[in-house]
Amino acid sequence: MQDARQRDQKFMADLLAIMASEDTEGGQIAAARTLAEAYAADLQAGVDPVHAKQRLLDIHSAVIAEQNQRRLHSRPWRIFEAAELVLGDVRINVRASASFVRSAS
């Protein structure tokens, strides 16, 4: 569990580092998306899908909380939004695929 928490903290630290980088806004947004995609793929590759879904929900909520601390539509807000959208899409797809599997059984 501690390892999972450390990975979550590293994800958030990496996201903050992207925001602090000297890259263009477009580059920062692309990097935030790439980071979120890699993080979500890492979660989905885990052996425990229930735990992975909970961690995805937790980190998605944490990203939204960080985003809400930023001025609306500012550059930092848009960077967090990019990560949030990726994580949100993955959450929806995981939930939809789990529903499909249950209904097909």
* pLDDT tens figures, 55-82: 999 999 999 999 999 999 999 999 999 9
Tally the domains of the chain: 1
Q: Which domain holds residue 78?
A: 2-104
Which of 25, 24, 3, 6 shows the shortest CA–CA distance to 14?
6
The C-alpha atoms of residue 55 and residue 5 are separated, in whole angstroms, by: 9
| pLDDT score at 5 | 85
Q: Answer positive or negative: Cα dihedral of 81, 82, 83, 88.
A: positive
| pLDDT score at 2 | 64
| pLDDT score at 49 | 84
Q: Is-contact 69 1, C-beta < 8 A? A: no
Q: What is the pLDDT of residues 9-58, one digit of tens each?
A: 999 999 999 999 999 999 999 999 999 999 999 988 887 888 888 999 99
pLDDT at 102 over 50: no
The C-alpha atoms of residue 10 and residue 12 are separated, in whole angstroms, by: 5
